[in-house]
Homo-oligomer: A and B are copies of this chain.
C-alpha cells in the first residue's frame, strides 16, 4: 500500500537512509523539491492544520502550492518560513507585526535593512521581557521564602500574614 501516490508526477520518495518509516514521512519530491502534505507540515512545524490554513488566509504565508486535487503541498521554503514564524510568535510578536515582516520579506532584497531593524527591535523587546521576568521571578522566590519562614515558625506562634509581595 505504500508505493507512491500516483498523482502529480512523483519522481521519488525521500526517506532518511536507515529509517524505513513508510507510514510517516511519505514526503515526496517533485523536480527535486520536497513537498509536505498539510498533515506533515503540521507535524513538522507544530502548528495545527487550522492554524496553517488561517496563516495562509491572513497572508502570513504566501499562497501555498496545490496539487491536481487542490490540496496544499508545502515546500521546504514554506516549512522554513514557518520556523521563523514560530520563533517570532513564541517570543511574543503579534501577528500584525509578523505580517509586516512577511510583507517586507516578499518585497525583495531592498527591504533587508528594514527587516534587520524590525528584528533587532524585537530582539530588544525579548531582552526586556526576559529582564522583566527575572525581576518578577525574584519576587515570587521571595514570596516562597516568606511562606517557608512562616512554616518554620513554631506552631501557634505569630499568626501574622502580612506582606504580599516584597
Q: For the complex, is A126 an interface residue (Cβ under 8 Å from B)?
A: yes
The SS class assigned to the A binding surface is: helix
A97-130 interface code vs B (CB 8 A; 1 in, 0 out): 0000000000001001101100110110011011
What is the count of identical protomers in the complex?
2
Flag if A133 contacts B140 (CB, 8 Å).
Answer: no
Flag if B116 contacts A144 (CB, 8 Å).
Answer: yes
Q: Tell me the count of chain A residues lying within 8 A, CB to CB, of chain B.
A: 42
* Closest residue of B by beta carbon distance from A129: B133
* Closest residue of B by beta carbon distance from A131: B130
Q: What are 25 A-B interface contacts by the 8 Å CB criterion?
A: A80-B163, A80-B164, A81-B164, A83-B165, A87-B140, A87-B165, A91-B136, A91-B137, A91-B140, A109-B159, A112-B147, A112-B151, A116-B147, A116-B148, A116-B151, A119-B140, A119-B143, A120-B144, A123-B141, A123-B144, A126-B137, A127-B137, A130-B130, A130-B133, A130-B137
A-side interface residues toward B, CB under 8 Å?
77, 80-81, 83-84, 87-88, 90-91, 109, 112-113, 115-116, 119-120, 122-123, 126-127, 129-130, 132-134, 136-137, 139-141, 143-144, 147-148, 150-151, 159, 161-165
